Chain A
Amino acid sequence: MTLSKILTKLIDKAIIPAVLLIASRIISIVLVCKYLGIDFKITNQGIIIQDFYSYLKVNSYSVLFMTVMLVIGLLYVLIKSIFFHDSHIKPTTTAKLFSIKAESLIQNSYEIYTQGAVWLTYSYMLLAVSGIMAMSNLIYKWVFYIITGVTLLATLLLVFDVEEEIDIKKEKDVEYDKDNSLVELPGEPE
């Protein structure tokens, strides 16, 4: 029985972000309601807010709180990919990390990109849901714009890192002359 290594890794890397986002959603709803003095009921249908205007406020700030959590996760992955990637980490940074016993931050592409893919997927999911909510006037539009900015910026930075990784890989590979116009292959007429 051979289970897919990539799928197992993706599930492993998706546990923490999922728990963090769910917890941030629930905690933020309760905190925002308490802070703004909005009454809410917890029933088997979920958390019920008394009127639409309060719902709009609580929902917007709760989604914003989720976005903050998402930004923290994405920043962690991006810092690892840009500064602590084992393919292009500076020797001085490596020495510093070993001296403070934080060498676990130095990771390979497989580890970083699986984690990055998971966080980016959550980012796009949040963007899609907030887009639908913004169109239905269930959250403030500026919350949706913030998520759009965060998602696009994170995607761009990760794409730049992947490009850099590809360049490094190309430099390391031995280049052969692919021009075979002067090569005589067997069976071809002269």
Chain B
Amino acid sequence: MKTIFKIGFNAVLLAMFLGMLLLPTGFMGIMKFEENSSVLSAQDSNSEGSNSEESTIKSINDSEIPLDVEEMILKMEREYYQKQQSEFVEDTEGTEDKEDKEDEKKTDNENIEMKEEDTEEDIQIQETN
């Protein structure tokens, strides 16, 4: 009887020790990220709004949006995701080069500005036609 009690109490002690060891490891899973990110695609549509009232946020698939605007938005979206992905890969591999990044950012900004100018010109041409 005495030995059974001894084994029982020591088993409780062992369980307590293992629990204490696992506790900080368990706390490592305290943080999570939202899988449904708030960053939406231009092709997404507001399904909740379409049921009740007409939504103010329009999808790119909407027939009212001109083709050239649609193409430009999709291009910008693609560039955004490519940039995000390249930044993520650089960070995970630990080969982050700040100077290159700054150059990329500059060229990206220049490209976006150029594209915006082009589309404005296109729109103006369409209007004049």
Contacts and interface: CB of A to CB of B under 8 A. Distances in A.
Contact of B10 (A4, A53, A54, A57): A4
B17 A122 contact: no
Interface in B2-22: 5-6, 9-10, 13-14, 16-17, 20-22
Interface residues of B, number: 32
A48 B22 CA distance: 22
A63 B28 CA distance: 8
Interface string B30-47: 111110011100000000
A115 interface: no
Interface stretch (B58-66, B89-97, B108-116): B89-97
B50 interface: no
B94 A10 contact: no
B84 interface: yes
B6 to A, nearest CB: 6
B32 A50 contact: no
Nearest to B35: A52
A1 B6 contact: yes
A49 B32 contact: yes
B20 A18 contact: yes
Interface string A27-53: 001000000000000000111111111
B30 A14 contact: no
Given A18-B24, A56-B91, A141-B92, A10 B32 contact: no
B88 interface: yes
A187 B35 CA distance: 82
Contacts of B31: 29, 46-49, 55, 58-59, 62
Contacts of A14: 17, 20-21
A89 B79 CA distance: 64
B29 A2 contact: no
A129 interface: yes
B23 interface: yes
B30 A141 contact: no
A165 B93 CA distance: 42
A51 B37 contact: yes
A141 B38 contact: no
Nearest to B10: A4
B126 interface: no
B25 interface: yes
A160 B50 CA distance: 71
Contacts of A47: 30-32
A26 interface: yes
A142 B16 CA distance: 33
A87 interface: no
Q: Which 6 A-B pairs have the closest CB atoms?
A: A55-B33, A21-B24, A7-B13, A14-B20, A46-B30, A142-B94
Interface of A: 1-4, 7-8, 10-11, 14-15, 17-18, 21-22, 25-26, 29, 45-59, 62-63, 66, 118, 121-122, 125-126, 129, 133, 137, 140-142
